[in-house]
Structure 1
Amino acid sequence: MTTILLLASLTTLGYATWYLILCAASPWGRCRRCHGARSHRTTIGTRRDCRRCDGTGRRVRIGRRIAEYIRAEYRAGHQ
Structure 2
Amino acid sequence: MALASLAVLLLLAGYAALCAVQPFTPCRKCAGTGVRHAGRRTVNLCRRCRGDRYRLRVGRRLLNTGRHIHHTGTRPHRPTTRP
If the TM-score is normalised by the length of the shorter chain, which range does it land in? 0.7 to 0.9
In structure 2, the residue matched to 1:53 is 49
Distance in 2 separating the partners of 1:36 and 1:12:
29
Distance in 2 separating the partners of 1:36 and 1:11:
31
Q: Percent identity?
A: 36
Q: Which runs of 5+ in 1 are unaligned?
A: none
Give a deviation string over 1:48-71, Cα, whole Å, max 9, x none. Answer: 320111112101101000000001
In structure 2, the residue matched to 1:19 is 15
* 1:35, distance to aligned residue in structure 2 (A): 2.2
Structure-2-length-normalised TM-score: 0.76
Structure-1-length-normalised TM-score: 0.79
Q: CA RMSD in A?
A: 1.6
Distance in 2 separating the partners of 1:19 and 1:12:
11
Q: Does 1:34 align with 2:30?
A: yes
Number of aligned residue pairs: give it.
Answer: 72
